[in-house]
Amino acid sequence: MTSNNKKSQKDILAERIGKILKIRRLEMGIKQREMASILGCSIGQISFYETGRNLIPLDVLMEACRVLNYDECDLLKMAKEKLVTRQNVRL
């Protein structure tokens, strides 16, 4: 975050992307530890991605979308348009 506690565009986008990925993962019944194993990272890192604490690298995002059967372009459009709700993320 910026020094004046306002979130940057990057921080906001990271949070939205993470929320979409988490909703989708939960709906598919995939546990964080399974996702971490598939993506080759720690459970903690999955948590950081899902909360937006860390921005997910593009290669990891693409693999996560493949695993979650989600189109990367649709995910990015949804995150940009502020349409992150459980109903909008459904399969």
Mean pLDDT of all residues in 7-25: 91
| pLDDT tens string 26-42 | 999 999 999 999 999 99
Q: Following DSSP, what letter does each residue of 6-66 receive, concatenated?
A: PPPHHHHHHHHHHHHHHHHHHHTT--HHHHHHHHTS-HHHHHHHHHTSSPPPHHHHHHHHH
Q: In percent, how much of the chain has pLDDT > 70?
A: 84
